[in-house]
Structure 1
């Protein structure tokens, strides 16, 4: 598994000069995406809708709205 490219603007381009808030999205060579964000599994797991599930090895990660909106133009349609 390898990172192919960043999707969207870098944290620095979004104003994170300190490196303290660096959510990020990357496309992987198999077409999947990797996300750097704030770990929020314990907080959000009890609030998941009834039709949602999370395996023991999965985590709920939060990224900022700005991060996702700035990535929208780089996310392929197919």
Structure 2
């Protein structure tokens, strides 16, 4: 299993989340992949995936706020 190397973007607290109930986050992993904490909306969007998209049984569709991704943009590597 991979280890978290760093947060991508700013912390949830810096985005105004202090209660712990709305804390989407993005992390870079040691293997070069990314881990995302978001709201699981698989049941809602699974049937709306385009015909050229699919997910495995072990994969989930998660949503993060626009602010989370926008504020992470500067930390996302180009390659």
Is the TM-score greater than 0.5?
A: yes
Aligned to 2:68: 67
Normalised by the size of structure 1, how large is the TM-score? 0.98
TM-score (norm 2): 0.97
Pairwise mapping of residues 1-78 of structure 1 onto structure 2 (< 5 A)? 1-78=2-79
Give unpaired runs (5+ residues) of structure 2. none
Unaligned runs of 5+ in 1: none
Q: Tell me, what secondary structure is at the counterpart of 2:14?
A: coil
Moved over 6 A (4+): none
Deviations 1:51-72 (A, max 9, x none): 0010111000000000000000
Q: How many residues align?
A: 78
